[in-house]
Amino acid sequence: MHRTLTEHARCLYGDEYRPTPECEREHREHYFVEELTFADAESILSMLHELSPQLVDGHLPVWIRNLAYRLVLLQRPDDPQLLREAAQSLWMHGPDWDDIAADMVKRADALDAGRPRP
């Protein structure tokens, strides 16, 4: 059994910086996605920061990273630093989400300036 979301992700996807732990459990991605879906913001951010400390690295699939940031932002919608971090992640993975990333930065700037969200 995995003790943390990070351990579960490391077992399933591997880790660029540490060996993948031996695990007797069968790994199915949908179990991890279920755990991710109901995880608190701190657990999700811990997983993202530990497995992708430089934002451009790590073995997490792009769709998992995008989902993780989306779930954290649902829990912390008014966190400008987090909005910018999520935007950077989107910009790293292709132009498909550039407009969404730009909107996130605009929201972060508005929050920093004390203006209502656009």
The pLDDT confidence band at residue 118, using thresholds 50, 70 and 90, is low
In a shared domain, residues 106 and 83: yes
Q: Pick from 86, 115, 114: which is nearest to 104 by CA?
A: 86
Please check whether residues 37 and 82 belong to one and the same domain: no
pLDDT of residue 19: 79
**Do 67 and 9 fall within a single domain?**
yes
Residues 110, 63 share a domain? no
Which single residue is written with the structure tokens 């508005």? 110
- Res 58 pLDDT > 90: no
Q: Are residues 70 and 86 in the same domain?
A: no
Distance CA 45, CA 5 (A): 10
Q: Say yes or no to pLDDT of 51 above 70.
A: yes
115 & 61 share domain: no
The structure's pTM equals 0.90
Taking 90 as the threshold, does the pLDDT of residue 81 lie above it? yes
Domain that holds residue 86: 78-118
The domain tally of the chain equals 2
Q: Are residues 66 and 100 in the same domain?
A: no
Q: What is the mean pLDDT of residues 42-67?
A: 92
Same domain, 70 and 83: no
Got the DSSP string for 16-82?
A: SSSPPPP--SPP-HHHHHHHHHT--HHHHHHHHHHH-TTSS--S--HHHHHHHHHHHHHH-TT-HHH
pLDDT category at 1 given cuts 50, 70, 90 is low
**Cα 11 to Cα 4, 24, 29, 76, 99, distances in angstroms:** 11, 10, 11, 27, 33
Same-domain check for residues 71 and 114:
no
Mean pLDDT, the chain, integer: 90
**Same structural domain for residues 25 and 11?**
yes
* Assigned token pair, 27: 């790994």
Q: How confident is the model at residue 24 (pLDDT cuts 50, 70, 90)?
A: confident
Other C-beta atoms closer than 10 Å to the C-beta of 92 total 14
